[in-house]
Amino acid sequence: MRRFIWLRINLPALLADCNDRLTKLGQELKRIQRDEDKQESLQYSIMTVRKELTDIQRCIREDGENPYIAGALIVYYGDTAEMLYMGMDGKYRKYMAPYLTHLTPILDAFHRECRLCNMGGLEGTLDGGLTKFKTNFNPLIQEYLGEFDLPVHKLLYTVAHHAYMMRKRKRKRHG
């Protein structure tokens, strides 16, 4: 069985939250008159919230009020859940959608009484960004010998592999 998970964001609710924060910051700024350090800090916070307001308004114009910001494809087989693909709209990265995109299938697998929920692979080292992200979920990391190719059509494989290696060398040279 397969399942798609789509995550949306409620931009009007974010807009209302920003307006509330802006109002509270403005009131706080009026209340504090003599402390220049606090005034400077509050003015910086106001500037940051105004920028966020502008960004949210732009997103509403471009994407609507409840755009999809992330998604996942999960396949269930027996007592295992395989997270095959996860992606997100980079425009909304500051809202940390990948955490919910990963957590939702994990909870779903738990409710389906799966024994294993495979989050997919990692980089070649254990200090990469994807590895650091996935360690937030307390995973059991299993290491295998590596990847291998099983050519189905030897001639096409040879041509495709040669083209891939040429492209790889070209990209390395041009940085």
The pLDDT value recorded for residue 63 is: 95
Average pLDDT over residues 81-104: 88
DSSP summary character for residue 127 = T
Residue 52 to residues 16, 42, 59, 164, 171, Cα–Cα distance (Å): 12, 15, 10, 42, 37
DSSP summary character for residue 136 = G
Contact, 6 vs 71, CB < 8 A?
A: yes
In the predicted structure, residue 15 carries a pLDDT above the cut 80: yes
**pTM metric for this prediction:** 0.66
Contact, 73 vs 12, CB < 8 A?
A: no
In the predicted structure, residue 102 carries a pLDDT above the cut 80: yes
The pLDDT value recorded for residue 80 is: 92
Q: Which band of pLDDT confidence, cut at 50, 70 and 90, is reported for residue 111?
A: very high
Structure tokens at 46: 């106001």
- Domains of the chain in start order, with CATH, are 1-146 (3.40.630)
Q: Which band of pLDDT confidence, cut at 50, 70 and 90, is reported for residue 2?
A: confident
The pLDDT value recorded for residue 175 is: 63
> Residues 124-168: pLDDT tens digits?
777 777 788 888 878 887 777 766 778 889 999 999 999 999 998
Cβ-Cβ contacts under 8 Å for 57 (sequence gap 6 or more): 15
> Residues 20-75: pLDDT tens digits?
999 999 898 888 877 777 888 889 999 999 999 999 999 999 999 999 999 999 99
Q: Describe the crossing of helices 11-31 and 36-63 by its angle, rounded to 10 degrees.
A: 160
